[in-house]
């Protein structure tokens, strides 16, 4: 995707019914010569259970070290929103989001943490990264406490 063809930023966009149709866009990184970490946090992510159709909720934390491209945040918001009517297991949603960002922006490094709220009494946390973090990259804790229930 060429940065001159942004289709959503500054425009009214209806949204997408599924993540496959969502357009994830990128923009040039003006600091491409610097190793740094950018973080997106989506504390109210939702998708659907592929078996029951019931909603699933997660707190997503996406950390990436940009290369030549940045993920355009409005397109990311619309992409993540497209999961609201999409049925997939927690593991599939989390890893698919990470892989789509890598496919779009080719970051130096990426990790995603999907902290899923319990269903059936079991929280499922899903983590994926592209490989070892680049040497010298400061990577703060994702800041999401392990699920503790009422205790």
For the chain, domain boundaries: 14-129
Which of 56, 63, 68, 141 is catalytic? The answer is: 56
- Predicted TM-score of the model (pTM): 0.90
Helices 73-81, 90-105: inter-axial angle, 10-degree rounding: 150
For the question of residue 93 being annotated catalytic, the response is no
Active site residue 56: yes
Give residue 1's pLDDT.
46
Class of domain 14-129: alpha beta
pLDDT value of position 7? 61
* Own/partner long-range contacts of 45-53 (Cβ < 8 Å, ≥24 apart): 45/80, 45/83, 45/114, 46/83, 46/84, 47/83, 47/84, 47/86, 47/87, 47/88, 47/93, 48/84, 48/85, 48/86, 48/87, 48/88, 49/87, 49/89, 49/119, 50/87, 50/88, 50/89, 53/87
Give the active site residue among 17, 33, 49, 141: 49
pLDDT in tens for each of the 151 residues of the chain? 444 577 655 557 676 678 898 999 999 999 999 999 999 999 999 999 999 999 999 999 999 999 999 999 999 999 999 999 999 999 999 999 999 999 999 999 999 999 999 988 888 999 999 999 999 999 999 999 877 665 5
């Amino acid at each position: 995707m060429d940065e001159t063809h942004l289709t959503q930023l500054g425009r009214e966009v209806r949204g997408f019914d599924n993540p496959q149709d969502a357009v994830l866009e990128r923009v040039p990184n003006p600091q491409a010569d610097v190793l740094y970490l950018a973080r997106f946090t989506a504390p109210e992510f939702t998708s659907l259970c592929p078996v029951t159709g019931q909603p699933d909720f997660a707190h997503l934390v996406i950390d990436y070290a940009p290369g030549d491209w940045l993920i355009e945040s409005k397109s990311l918001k619309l992409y993540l929103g497209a999961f609201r009517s999409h049925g997939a297991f927690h593991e599939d949603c989390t890893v698919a989001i990470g892989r789509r960002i890598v496919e779009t922006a080719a970051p130096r490094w990426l990790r995603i943490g999907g902290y899923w709220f319990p269903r059936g009494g079991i929280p499922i946390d899903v983590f994926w990264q592209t490989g070892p973090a680049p040497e010298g990259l400061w990577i703060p804790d994702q800041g999401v406490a392990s699920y503790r229930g009422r205790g």
